[in-house]
Each structure stands twice: as C-alpha cells, then as structure tokens.
Amino acid sequence: MPNNPSNTSAAYLRSRVGRVCVSLQATTVPELLERAEVAMAESSFLEFRLDALHHMEKHSTVITSLKTIAKFLSAHPQIVAIATCRRKPFGGSFTGTTLEELEVLTRASEAGFALLDMEIESAEEAERGLFNTLREAWLESGAALMISFHDFAKGVDPEPIFDRIQKFAPDYIKIVSTARTLTDSLNLLQWMKQRSGDTQLVGIAMGEAGIVSRVLSLRTGSAFTFGAAPVGDPTAPGQMTARMLKELYRIEDLDQATKIYGVAGNPIAHSLSPLMQNTAFRRERVNAVYLPLKVESVEDLLAVIRGLPLSGLSVTMPLKLQLLPYLANVDPLTAKLGACNTIRLGADGKLYGFNTDVAGIIRPLEKRLPLKGARVLVLGAGGAARAAVFGLVEKGADVSVWSRNEVKANDLAAAARAKAISRKVIAASAFDVMINATPCGMHGSSHELPLEPEEWKARLVFDLVYNPLDTPLLQLARKRGFATIQGVEMFVQQGARQFELWTGKAAPEAEMQRVVLFALNKAQHP
C-alpha cells in the first residue's frame, strides 16, 4: 500500500525540526531577514510572524514580501521555517479577512515555508471545500499544517480545544493559554503528558506563571517550543530567549529523571536564583533544573510541589512563614527563627524545612575573622536581621541590635539573647563588624542611611543589600578606611548551602558568584 503523501511529508518535517523554534517579528521584510540572520547562529528552526509586517493585508505587498523571503530561504536551505499570519481578533496583527489569510499561507507554502500556522477560528470559518483544496496545494508545495489556539486572558481546558482542532487532521496541534496561576501551567503539562502520544502536540502557557510550562514542555511531550529571538521583542508574554531556554535551562536535555527545583515568590521573574542554581547544576553535572515560580497562594504552590513534583524549593517572604504549618519537620535554626527559606521533599513524600539565610551571613564573616567574642552591630530588626542576630549569637559573638523601631529591636534582642543598643551608645563604641540588614541603599528604595557617618565605627562593614553591588554604605565605609563585604556574598552563600542540602555535593561557590556578579554588573552597566 503506497504511503500517504501527507504522512510522508510530515514525517520528513519531523526529522528536520528542532526542539526550540525562534520566533521572529519585524515591521519590514529587510529587518525581519536581518533578525533571521542573527537567529540562525542559535537555531535553524525559525518562525516568521508575517502578520507583524506592515501592509500585509494588501495583495501586492504579500506577493512582493514573500518573493523576497523566498530568496532568503532558498539561499539558506538548512532553515526550517514556520509561516504565521495570525489575524487581529485572535491575538495577531493581520487585519485581513480569512480568505486573505489563506492567500498569505498559500504564497508562503510556495515560498519555501515548511510549516503553516493557522488559527482554529480561521479553519472553522473557511469554506470546507476551499480549505481541502488549499490543503492539497500546500502539501504539493511540501508544507505541513499546524492549527493553533490561543487564549490571551486565562488558562483553559485543552481537551475540547484539542477535539475542535483534531477534526481538521492537521500535522501539528498547538494549544496556548495564559497561566494566571502555577496550577494553570501544571494542568496543561499534565494534560500534554497524557495526550502527546496521540499526535504531534505543541503546548505552552503564557505569562510569568507560565514559565514553568515553557521550560518543562519538551519533557512532557511537546513536539517543540518557542523562544524569543536574540534581537527584537518577544512575540508572546513570558517568552524567554531561545538561548536562555537552551543554555540556562537546558530544556533539550531534560528527561523524566530530571529533578525539579524552584524559587517561589511574587514577583519572581527577575530573581537571579535560577541563574545561580542552574549554573551550579550544570557545573557539577547534576540532572536537575531550577525554575522561577510565581505564586498566587500557598495552595497554588502546594499543588505544584505535589503535581510536578518538586524535589526542593527556595522561598521568599511571606512564604517563609506561610509554609511552616505544612512542613513535617524543620531544622533547629528554622525552629529558632520561625522562618524557613529552603524546602526539601523527603523520600517519604513529606516536606522538610531548613534555613540557609544564617549560613549566608555567617560564612562570609568566618572567612575574615573569628566570630567568638567579636563585637557585632546589627542594623535592623526584620527577617534578615533576625537571621544575622541568631546566627551570630550561636557562634559566640557579642551582638548589639539597633533599629528605628525600638520595640522590634528590644524584642529581637531578648529572643536571641543579644542586647538592644541606643544611637548614643553606638557613637561611643567601636565594633569589629557592622551589618546592615535594612533596605537602606537597595535599588529603588528611598531609605536614607540608618546612621550618620560619624555615629559608628567598625573594622568590617557587611551590607546585606546586593543590588546595587556597591551600596552607599559600602562606599562610605571604604572612604573611612574600613573593610567591606558586598551583599552578593550572602546571596551566593545561602544559595550554595541550598545546593548542598539538595544534592549532597559541595557547591561550586566561585562559579555561582561569578555568574551573579556578571549579571548584576551587566544590569547596572548595560
């Protein structure tokens, strides 16, 4: 029995497509092709958003534009190209009719595009006889068909959408929703895992809460996923660059044995923890990935911990407090501090809590001086100050606490068996170490220096603020001849301790610090 031409063409295409497709958009054809040239260094699998080109609704412009693109594709036969011309009512920029969209896709098939992306609404609106005729023409040109669905407002139940699309028997089915919660991403991933064996399926959840679906989509059966181009804006909310997906998250290497970790908070997209921990996993050849998890509620997070499942988790405030009731047990530091920043999933399926914030403060100090008997002044009485005070007292340091909020300073000092101190006494004293655990100097913070320059003396100043790297307090300390420690050391050391708790291996601290410093410097000096 002869092969079905459609099946043969689709099978050939599947042998050529990559796992990460780079999405390209521009307002002019020359700019679009320039971006394609740059993107080719990362991938030969490219999506051309034809709907973003100006005047694409004009028939003459369509022909002229696609003739130019055809020459480019002919000159670069290694490229596997997707043609997308999404209409404006369905999330694109094309203002033409359904018939005009079909004309664009037909011209694209003749221009050498390997895959045509049509939204389900257009497929349903098209006259069935015309659709079948065009499908045959596309097939003769060697182009396969992907029918897609997009919801830019919410998460959706993919099953009825799958049924709608399946009626047209496309070569690929693409379902894209918007994750408002982590659970939305989880639901899509679990559905894809069940359905991916039935057809060539592409599934993504957009938005910050959908990042987990972008990273784990290949692992759960998506035929491929999309990444942003190195030049130009992303083509969808939450879209990361293809390079980030491949190099930082290593999505092409993730398998069912890959352990999943993450940092939970809101907002979380700009956290440097994924960069630091994924670098450490790669350096130490650990089969694991670390994700940013935008959390809307504790219940949302718990569903993802169980559903993925997660092997470990870093948490930010207020989750450090909110998750305590759900932990089977905690380490002594967490019990003392009443706050947990690290979670590990035990072999029994239960959650165990740890606090590595203390290690983040103690380790940099111990590299520089003996802490037993050291006179330490801690500025602040919040969570970071609490970790510093309890950790230092346990090491035998003589700890004094000062805060603008005297009541909180007194309570913290009493709880940790330290002592509260007044500004007058500070001015008359000399300390071995002063630690700033206030938001003073933080990027975007309007807080002034907690103490005037003449009010304190300390041989070593440790600012827990790490953005910017060189805070006003550190600059002042250096001018006065004092040694300094940047807050990035705390960030790296607490992360290194988390890595060790999760993997049982020594953390590559130098490499972790190098990539974080590079990222901070690049952000501050673009």
Domain of residue 335, CATH code: 3.40.50.10860
One domain for residues 50 and 123: yes
For residue 232, the model assigns a pLDDT of 83
For residue 62, the model assigns a pLDDT of 75
End-of-domain residue from the set 255, 271, 298: 255
DSSP per-residue letters across 275-317? HHHHHHHHHTT-SEEEEEEE-S-HHHHHHHHHHTT-SEEEE-T
Query: Is residue 25 included in any domain, yes or no?
Result: yes
**320 given a catalytic annotation:** yes
One domain for residues 99 and 234: yes
One domain for residues 318 and 405: no
Domain range spanning residue 377? Answer: 366-485
For residue 109, the model assigns a pLDDT of 96
Asked whether the predicted pLDDT for residue 446 surpasses 90, the reply is no
Give CA separation, 468 vs 200, 277, 397, in Å. Answer: 46, 21, 28
Average pLDDT, stretch 37-63? 85
Could you tell me the CATH number of the domain that includes residue 434?
A: 3.40.50.720
Asked whether the predicted pLDDT for residue 4 surpasses 50, the reply is no
One domain for residues 232 and 121: yes
Q: How high does pLDDT run on average in the chain?
A: 93
Query: Is residue 206 included in any domain, yes or no?
Result: no
Asked whether the predicted pLDDT for residue 135 surpasses 60, the reply is yes
Query: Is residue 62 included in any domain, yes or no?
Result: yes
- Catalytic residue, candidates 174, 320, 336, 395: 320
Sign of CA dihedral 409, 412, 414, 417: negative
High-pLDDT (> 70) share of the chain, %: 96
DSSP per-residue letters across 428-467? T--EEEEEE-SSTT-TT--PPPSS-GGG--EEEEEE---S
Q: Regarding predicted confidence, which is higher, 10 or 414?
A: 414
One domain for residues 455 and 519: no
- Region for residue 142 given its phi and psi (left: phi exceeds 0; alpha: psi -120 to 50; beta: otherwise): left
Asked whether the predicted pLDDT for residue 382 surpasses 70, the reply is yes
Instruction: Tell me the per-residue pLDDT of 232-287, one tens digit each, with 9 for 90 and over.
Output: 888 888 899 999 999 999 999 999 999 999 999 998 888 999 999 999 999 999 99
Give the span between the Cα atoms of 94 and 300, in whole angstroms: 37
Could you tell me the CATH number of the domain that includes residue 86?
A: 3.20.20.70
Question: Counting Cβ atoms within 10 Å, is residue 526 exposed (0-12), middle (13-18) or buried (19+)?
Answer: exposed
One domain for residues 465 and 316: no
Query: Is residue 409 included in any domain, yes or no?
Result: yes
Asked whether the predicted pLDDT for residue 480 surpasses 70, the reply is yes
The bridge status of strand 20-24 relative to strand 225-228 is parallel
Query: Is residue 155 included in any domain, yes or no?
Result: no
For residue 7, the model assigns a pLDDT of 57
Query: Is residue 154 included in any domain, yes or no?
Result: no
* Contact status, residue 485 vs residue 364, Cβ threshold 8 Å: yes
Q: Regarding predicted confidence, which is higher, 66 or 444?
A: 66
One domain for residues 17 and 141: yes
- Map residue 378 onto helix, strand or coil: strand
pLDDT confidence of 59, banded at 50, 70, 90?
Answer: low
Give the span between the Cα atoms of 209 and 293, in whole angstroms: 7
Give the span between the Cα atoms of 80 and 142, in whole angstroms: 12
Q: Regarding predicted confidence, which is higher, 8 or 188?
A: 188
pLDDT confidence of 344, banded at 50, 70, 90?
Answer: very high
DSSP 8-state assignment for residue 377: E
One domain for residues 401 and 289: no
One domain for residues 31 and 48: yes
Give the span between the Cα atoms of 165 and 172, in whole angstroms: 9
Query: Is residue 185 included in any domain, yes or no?
Result: no
One domain for residues 11 and 131: yes
Count of the separate structural domains present in the chain: 3
Average pLDDT, stretch 137-153? 96
For residue 341, the model assigns a pLDDT of 96
One domain for residues 289 and 239: no
Give the span between the Cα atoms of 242 and 255, in whole angstroms: 19
Asked whether the predicted pLDDT for residue 1 surpasses 50, the reply is no
What are the structure tokens assigned to 493, written together?
């050391």
One domain for residues 243 and 110: yes
Q: Phi/psi of residue 236, each to 5°?
A: -155, 150
pLDDT confidence of 56, banded at 50, 70, 90?
Answer: low
For residue 60, the model assigns a pLDDT of 66
420 forms bridges with which residues in the sheet? Answer: 401
Query: Is residue 472 included in any domain, yes or no?
Result: yes
Asked whether the predicted pLDDT for residue 6 surpasses 60, the reply is no
For residue 435, the model assigns a pLDDT of 98
Q: Regarding predicted confidence, which is higher, 62 or 298?
A: 298
- For the chain, the straight-line distance linking the first and the last C-alpha, in angstroms and rounded, comes to 62
Q: Dump strand ranges (E) for 44-189.
A: 45-49, 80-84, 115-119, 144-150, 172-178
